[in-house]
Amino acid sequence: MKLLYAPNSPFSRKCRVVIREKGLDVEEIITMPPENPPQLLAANPLGRVPAFIAHDGSTFCDSSVICEYLDQLPSEAPALFPAKGNARFAALSLAALGDGIGDAAVHCFMETRRPAEKRSHEWIDRKEQSILRTVDALAHMNLDPKSPLNIGTIAIACALDYVRFRLIHLSWQDTQPQLAKWFEETLQHPSFAATAPMP
């Protein structure tokens, strides 16, 4: 099994955390989407990471799909996607917020890389407000650092660490100390420590 990933992609990191939490044997291949490598385009015609190639050659794209595929493979570790009911939809809903933060942060960062005259400050501002509003909503959820990880908390922690890495000026930790505590403790898991963004 192979995961095509970019080291600083929050979506790739979700998959890399799941691989470690589940103790799976997956070859991780650094892949840079802007170069359009043929292996990536074959695995994901959208040309985005993460992309996954299974034992039998089948391919999957989108981090949520890949993570759920990984979670159902044989493993001694607990499930990261609750099987059904409220617990499942709470985790999926949290994961959607994490993915939304990641998406907004990636868009902001890409916008800052455009030439100054083509950059839209309105767009950056809209995305930053979306991130800060969602951080505020998360702060009201009182996430517990002692609770076992699930796909929701994994997605949130990956996205918030990307925000810290790329949009340091947002510094939400100062205004949300409880969420910051949850975040710092979550990053202590070896699966997160081993997959941190690379400056």
Ligand X SMILES: N[C@@H](CCC(=O)N[C@@H](CS)C(=O)NCC(=O)O)C(=O)O
* Smallest distance, ligand X to C-beta of residue 162, A: 8
Query: Which member of 4, 70, 97, 106 binds ligand X (CB under 6 A)?
Result: 106
Contact 162, 180 (CB under 8 A): no
Give the C-alpha separation, 84 to 104, whole Å: 29
Q: Which residue, 44 or 191, is less far from ligand X as judged by CB?
A: 44
Residue 11 contacts ligand X per CB under 6 A: yes
Query: Helix count (H) and strand count (E) of the chain?
Result: 8, 4
Six token digits for residue 67:
């993570």
Six token digits for residue 86:
């409220």
Contact 185, 157 (CB under 8 A): no
Q: Which of positions 60-99 make contact with ligand X (CB under 6 A)? A: 62-64, 99
87 contacts: CB under 8 Å, gap ≥ 6: none
Query: Which member of 33, 37, 100, 145 binds ligand X (CB under 6 A)?
Result: 33
Q: Which residue, 48 or 189, is less far from ligand X as judged by CB?
A: 48
Binding span for ligand X by CB under 6 A among 18-26, 45-53, 122-130, 188-196:
45-53
Q: Which residues bind ligand X (CB under 6 A)?
A: 6, 9, 11, 33, 47-50, 62-64, 99, 106
